Amino acid sequence: MALCGAGGAALLAEATRRTAAWHTPVPQMLAATAAASVWGTPLYDRAALPVRGRQREVASGAPFFSRVTLLGDAG
């Protein structure tokens, strides 16, 4: 969380450090990124919700419960 509040330059420096050994063009893309365009927010991890709904069987005959995972980048 502290890094998110440290500003774009700190976030960019950390991203650059963590990806220094990555393949082209990742380091070049980060080098061309303006610190003023970088921002971050904390991520929160939550325990999985219990599975609800009807159980059904897949082709193998094994029980299957439907789950949905939502990921996003709303901004």
| Helix locations, 1-75, DSSP H | 8-18, 26-31
* pLDDT score at 1: 63
* Cβ proximity of 16 and 31 under 8 Å: yes
End-to-end CA distance of the chain: 19
Sign of CA dihedral 29, 31, 26, 38: negative
Domain edges within the chain? 1-36
In the predicted model, what is the mean pLDDT of residues 19-43?
Answer: 91
pTM above 0.85, yes or no: no
Q: Which two tokens stand for residue 62?
A: 């094994």
> What share of the chain has pLDDT > 90, as a percent?
41
